[in-house]
Amino acid sequence: MEAYNALHALMKGPLPSLFFCIGDPIVGNPTEHMVDKAFQDLAYSGRYLTCRVPKSDLASALWGLRALGFAGGNVTAPHKQEVLQYLDELSESALLCKAVNCITRTPDGSYYGDNTDGKGFLQSLADRAITVQNKKIVVLGSGGAASAIATELVLAKSGEVVLVNRTEERSLSIAKRLSGISQTKLVVEPWVGCYTIADDVDIVVQATSVGLFSPTSCVDVAFTGKNSSLIACDVVFNPVQTLFLQKAELAGCTIVDGLGMLVNQGALAVRQWTGSDPDRALMRRALEEAFAQR
């Protein structure tokens, strides 16, 4: 692989492909560091820029990014839903969960929106040889991450997905949207007080924001002590070993952290943009390095 020479590209072309990460707030988002490392390792001529885009400027930002020839990028809170209206094409996942976190410019110049969050989560299970087909899976939370995960679980034909959220209407809305897509049974359960994870559950996914940057916070759930074959996953990636995962491990569960999902959704984006599979171990190290700076 030939090393990418930035000066040569500047003086003789072709200019590097440009990518963005837009959100608000955006300081503290480590994606640029992770993607830069992946581009360098692939000797790919790409530049990735983190930009704060307030809600009121989303439309003009998207037109500006198109005019400047950006080849794609990532979209984070609060724009994941709002951005759909400014895109030309949507993937099945993006259509189903009504959220986009990854945009790729197609050869005809269209902006194609995808959601790689749920796929990244499934990949983090596949990396541990964990399958979801015919399994009973509890998803705690019904925000953007939970919706993306539930969508992929349904597309992957899980046996049963149980949605549990503090605000029940949000679970009901996801269940309604996903019902009939596959044979997966969709169930909504209330979350009042402590939620006990039943013994017949195969996988539980902590997909609320509880625990993010807060090592002492945990969702109000209980393990029965008979959950030794249960796989407990967290989408929260900082801290990596959340209190939820620590509790699950004490209860005898196998645990899967949220950093794997973060790396995998990023790797899927890099694959869409460059056509090459990045080194995911290197991307994980880049994230760990970034979080050590916090």
Active site residues: 80
Distance CA 58, CA 55 (A): 6
| Residue (166 or 271) nearer to ligand NDP, CB | 166
What is the smallest separation between the CB atom of 252 and ligand NDP, expressed in angstroms?
A: 24
| Residue (17 or 174) nearer to ligand NDP, CB | 174
What is the smallest separation between the CB atom of 169 and ligand NDP, expressed in angstroms?
A: 8
What is the smallest separation between the CB atom of 1 and ligand NDP, expressed in angstroms?
A: 28
Q: Which of 19, 18, 209, 29 is nearest to 102 (CA)?
A: 19
Q: Are 65 and 89 in contact (CB under 8 A)?
A: no
| Residue (145 or 270) nearer to ligand NDP, CB | 145
Residue, CB closest to ligand NDP: 143
Supply φ then ψ for residue 290, to 5 degrees. -65, -45
| Residue (46 or 120) nearer to ligand NDP, CB | 120
Q: In three state form, how does the secondary structure of 243-261 look?
A: HHHHHHHHCCCEEECHHHH
H or E stretch at 179: none
Separate counts of helices (H) and strands (E) for the chain: 10, 14
Binding region for ligand NDP (CB under 6 A):
77, 117, 120, 141-146, 165-167, 170, 208-210, 212, 219, 235-237, 258, 261-262, 265
Neighbour count for residue 285 (Cβ, 10 Å): 14
SS3 label, residue 78 = coil
Q: What is the dihedral of CA 9, 11, 14, 16, to 10 degrees?
A: 50
| Residue (54 or 180) nearer to ligand NDP, CB | 54
What is the smallest separation between the CB atom of 115 and ligand NDP, expressed in angstroms?
A: 10
What is the smallest separation between the CB atom of 82 and ligand NDP, expressed in angstroms?
A: 13
Q: Which of 195, 207, 255 is nearest to 228 (CA)?
A: 255
